[in-house]
Amino acid sequence: MYRPELLYEGKAKKIFRTEDPERVRVEYKDDATAYNGGKKGFITGKGELNNRISAFFFDYLGKRGIRHHFLSLLSSTEQLVKRVTILPVEVVVRNRAAGSMAKRLGLEEGLSFPRPVVEFYYKDDRLGDPLINEDHIALLELATRKQVMDMRETALKVNQQLVGLMAEKGVDLVDFKLEFGVDGRGDLLVADEISPDTCRFWDRVTGKKLDKDRFRRDLGEVEDAYREIWNRLGEDVLV
Ligand code: C5P
């Protein structure tokens, strides 16, 4: 009998081998962490909501010409994705000041930018994911110059699409983080997840935070906020 092998367990997801070497199964967990594992918790229903929200966003972006790893939903908490090698670079796009950038540069949270700001972070828990620039990426050989250009361009396209989509749903996309992977053919794909764990979403009318900041800052109603995002996307059950 085929026994699924656990390839990797992260803070919010588990990755399993499948019978196809080019595909892996991702299981979204209810576990929540913040501040590089310094704060740990459990958000009931998060795994299911993030699995569905992420699938929805990948599908939406794919239909608009953005290449990603998502293939299909397998269950309420699992999805099938292309197997990729994740580049150790996190790409953050910001439309307003918030979080670490507001703190680093002394900007008032919520300040709206005339154009989006793209940042790169070195994905390394030991170092606490430091902010890096394109020269650091080249020096540390984390990605090629071409991959850096592609990541920047794709991240801005994702931003443009998701800002428009969320605005229609009455939500401001404040910022988000993307991870990229390289598949067996050498193609660069948007990978990991796109969900309230990795984006900041603010209600356009009330300013209410509908994302992981509710967990990070102990604001309560965390699951409700994630569910609100799912409800606004207006989707029925996908599986
Ligand atoms: O914490 P910071 O302000 O740098 O986060 C910017 C954006 O990237 C936020 O939407 C946050 O949720 C996301 N992020 C993430 N994973 C990280 C760091 C940031 O999803 N390790």
3-state DSSP assignment of residue 46: helix
pLDDT surpassing 70 at residue 236: no
What mean pLDDT comes out for the span 220-233? 97
Closest Cα to atom 15, ligand 1: which residue? 198
Check residue 230 and give its pLDDT. 97
Distances (CA, A) of 25 to 45, 50, 201: 19, 15, 27
Q: What's the 128 CA to ligand 1 centre distance in angstroms?
A: 12
Check residue 239 and give its pLDDT. 43
Confidence of residue 3 (pLDDT cuts 50, 70, 90): low
What mean pLDDT comes out for the span 211-222? 97
Instruction: Give the span between the Cα atoms of 214 and 218, in whole angstroms.
Output: 6
For the chain, the structural domain boundaries read 6-82, 85-221
Choose the CATH number for 6-82 among 3.30.200.20, 3.90.1150.10, 3.30.300.180, 3.40.50.720: 3.30.200.20
Q: What's the 3 CA to ligand 1 centre distance in angstroms?
A: 35
Instruction: Give the span between the Cα atoms of 81 and 108, in whole angstroms.
Output: 38
Tell me, using a 6 A CB cutoff, whether residue 101 lines ligand 1: yes
Instruction: Give the span between the Cα atoms of 87 and 191, in whole angstroms.
Output: 10
Closest Cα to atom 16, ligand 1: which residue? 198
ipTM of the predicted structure? 0.97
For 83-116, how does the pLDDT look when each residue is reduced to its tens digit (9 = 90+)? 999 999 999 999 999 999 999 999 999 999 999 9
Share of the chain above pLDDT 90, in %: 95
CATH topology of domain 85-221: D-amino Acid Aminotransferase; Chain A, domain 1 (3.30.470)
Check residue 8 and give its pLDDT. 95
pLDDT surpassing 50 at residue 237: no
pTM (2 decimals)? Answer: 0.96
Residues 96, 199: contact at Cβ < 8 Å?
no
